Structure 1
């Protein structure tokens, strides 16, 4: 049967053959287009380390601190070499100086919370180190496959701050109310994630970490300068990231909340000029990770103050409904800033997973 049909086809006219082939080709193309639309195939062409580093240099953000920022970033090694201490539960009177690179830091999990880091013990040292050292600041870069169908590569850019400053609030017509030590904690890790397309290296969007979460911003909404590099704004004292300047209130709303202030200043870190690749996933050649990256205990102690007590110092100067509004912020502050010392980059969920 197959042979007979084949003979019949061969005896047909040339025009008929061309018409049949054209119809067959058209049907095949339409089938491919239908399959692509209904079930697209992922483009999975992982980038090499060299390509990823080149892309980071091309897009590396400029980190802008607020003009009134008191607590600047530093390198991790500057923090260690200037008196940062390692504490262990039950041995609080015998803290240990941290060696360069964090070679003497404990490795692995610490579910019991046995270890934590802290500023130097003397007041002068604490004050000096908490202010950071912007000249030493460097970006810690982590390359990893993007989670969206294998079509992207994520470039995480982490910045370290020795100290997170106190927060302030806006309460209706009162633009700024200092809340004492509320929000303060030792060590602060913030980051942005650049998501680039594997197929052509185009920057698709950027994730800005913020207290209690963060946000994705399409590349078209970034403030570009020096070619394809963009501005990364750090909020005053709290260091939450944003793609633009301005004020955002975090809290119940109705004209009151925790202030997040972003503004441009001459306090700026060029992340492309000073960076270290600390991890790269999915490559045959592994990155030599710094010892401190495997430290999974807390980068700061449990806070040594009560948020309610700090807020009460301000509350007594307010009238009527303003007192109640301020009381509502206490829960928000503890949810946003937490009570325990912060975790390092590798412990955070977005190190391996997608940005929340």
Structure 2
């Protein structure tokens, strides 16, 4: 299975204007990330290497624990922007939820911070949405579905915010004709995955209105084949890192006032475009939500199928 992954390991291309880059989990911990306990919020603790002191078990939705940025502003700014030099892929092998003819290889990337959303509203191509979309601790992944009989890559699932899409192998952008390693594009600020460059709008307005997902190739790239760690494999006895079994929030619940952020944005728009913006706002919670994000193992598709 590891040989299969090396054969197809994607290159993660960040958007050239993205300031919120990936890092390794250990870099995030070692640069001041904090563990909070609701019962004593005034005394957060530094996270030990590998996440050795992170809580495990119990109800992941009880809101008792969460992670956050360091307290010092300078340290916060540093961690928000990540460290692409340390970034590594976290790989999970599992049987595909089909009839035993495929193996799924989940490839996870960690981003310390998810940046603000941007919308397209009519003829105005880029409308910043204040703090909307920002949150600490962003996990994204692709899933490679490989045929067991011959090790051929069949299709790839790209996670996109609260959903995603399957793409047949024939639609992937491979690096060259001899190498079957493909491009995994990460959207500007939000890090949704895609198989090609371009713009996709999420929202109710077709080509004129929606939340922007911008994908483009740049020199900000992570070679997952060169920098990866196998963190789990069904039935293979892989030693899982402590942080993988932390199923609580990797960031606090977002505290900004969405109504205020929208009001500030509406002031910049002329006439009828103010009403057009309101249509976009209706889907914001569906796309981003306000709750702190959870880690890979708490996702339904860690053991189940992608949806």
> How far off is 1:235 after superposition?
0.1
2:127 match? 177
By relative contact order (CA 8 Å, sep 6+), the higher-ranking structure is 2
Separation in structure 1 between the aligned mates of residue 262 and residue 61 of structure 2, nearest angstrom: 31
* Candidates 14, 21, 26, aligned match of 1:72: 21
Q: 5+ residue gaps in structure 1? A: 1-51
Alignment of 1:21-60 (within 5 A): 52-60=1-9
Residues 73, 134 of structure 1: 8 Å contact kept: yes
Q: CA deviation at 1:110?
A: 2.8
- In the alignment, which residue of structure 1 is the partner of 2:193? 241
Q: What is the CA-CA distance between 1:307 and the residue it aligns to?
A: 1.9
- The size of the alignment, in residue pairs, is 303
TM-score (normalizing by structure 2): 0.97
1:318 and 1:346 map into 2 onto residues whose CA distance is 42
Aligned match of 1:81 in 13, 17, 30? 30
Q: Could you say which residue in structure 2 is the equivalent of 1:326?
A: 277
Answer yes or no: is the 8 Å Cα contact 1:296–1:346 preserved in 2.
yes
Cα-to-partner distance string for 1:13-69 (whole Å, 9 max, x where unaligned)? xxxxxxxxxxxxxxxxxxxxxxxxxxxxxxxxxxxxxxx000000000000000001
Task: Summarize deviations over 1:118-159 as a string: whole Å, max 9, x none.
Answer: 000111111110000000000000000011211000000000
Does 2:212 correspond to 1:259? yes
Alignment of 1:133-282 (within 5 A): 133-226=83-176, 227-254=179-206, 255-281=208-234
Cα deviation, residue 343, structure 1: 0.5
- TM-aligned CA deviation for residue 111 of structure 1: 3.0
**Secondary structure at 1:134's aligned position in 2?**
coil
CA contact (8 A) 1:139 1:159 kept: yes
1:103 has 2:52 as partner: yes
Q: Which runs of 4+ in 1 moved over 3 A?
A: none
State the alpha-carbon separation in 2 of the partners of residues 187 and 344 from structure 1: 9
> Larger % of helix: which?
1
**Corresponding position: 1:296 with 2:247:** yes
When Rg is computed on C-alpha atoms for both structures, the one with the higher figure is 1
Contact 1:308–1:330 (CA<8 Å) still a contact in 2? no
Displacement of 1:253 after TM fit?
1.6
Whole-angstrom CA distance in 1 between matches of 2:154 and 2:14? 25
Aligned counterparts of 2:155 and 2:31: Cα–Cα separation in 1? 37
Check whether the contact 1:307–1:334 (CA below 8 A) recurs between aligned residues. no
Deviations 1:229-248 (A, max 9, x none): 00000000000000000000
- Tell me, in whole angstroms, the C-alpha distance in 1 between the residues paired with 2:180 and 2:119: 35
Q: CA deviation at 1:350?
A: 0.9
Structure 2 regions of 5+ residues with no counterpart? none
